[in-house]
Amino acid sequence: MPIRLLSILSGTGKLFRKAFEWIADDPWRLFVIVAAVLAFMLWRADGMADKLQFKLDREIAAHAETLKSVKTLSDALEQKNAESMARAKALEDARSEAAQAQAAADRRYRSTQARIDVLRAAVGQNEGVCDTPGEVTDALSGL
């Protein structure tokens, strides 16, 4: 061991021995020292408690702000969702109405076509190849 370290250890040992002898002379000194150490520890604990309480108060305030923001966002999302659901329902209703209108138009077309076929059969035009006149083809191509 280096001399310097031995010197430090020796000095520390002498200090502890003299402190113990000083305390052993009067046992009430031990009580005073313990009371002083406990008072110091209580003072430090009180300071730590104040610091932790301050941090807790900041966390509670931040948590309240976060909850407020989440509630605002949640309300906005619920409103947007309700609007989207209303639009989807309107679109579905329009799609249903369009399908019903298309079915009605198909029924009218088939009914009209059936009447035309009946009239052609009555006149005898359903026999042979049916050619569409040129002016009808030209008119249909312009649509």
Mean pLDDT of all residues in the chain? 88
Q: Are 59 and 51 in contact (CB under 8 A)?
A: no
Report pTM: 0.44
* Cβ pair 80, 87 in contact under 8 A: no
pLDDT of residue 1: 66
Instruction: List, for residues 27-71, the tens digit of each pLDDT value.
Output: 888 889 899 999 999 999 999 999 999 999 999 999 999 999 999
Whether 132 maps to a domain, the answer reads no
Predicted pLDDT at 136 = 72
Owning domain of residue 52: 10-95
User: Within a domain: residue 50?
Assistant: yes
Distance between CA atoms of residues 142 and 26, nearest Å:
123
The separation between the first and the last C-alpha atoms of the chain, rounded to the nearest angstrom, is: 109
Identify whether 61 is part of a domain. yes
65 with 58: CB under 8 angstroms? no
pLDDT tens for residues 96-135?
999 999 999 999 998 888 888 887 777 766 565 667 777 7
pLDDT band of residue 24 (cuts 50, 70, 90) is confident
Q: Specify if 117 maps to a domain.
A: no
Looking at the structure of the chain, the number of domains it has is: 1
Whether residue 135 is contained in a domain is answered as no
Whether residue 26 lies inside any domain: the answer is yes
Q: Does some domain include residue 127?
A: no
In a domain, 25, yes or no: yes
**How is residue 2 written in tokens?**
């280096």
Per-residue confidence (pLDDT) for residue 95, from 0 to 100 = 96
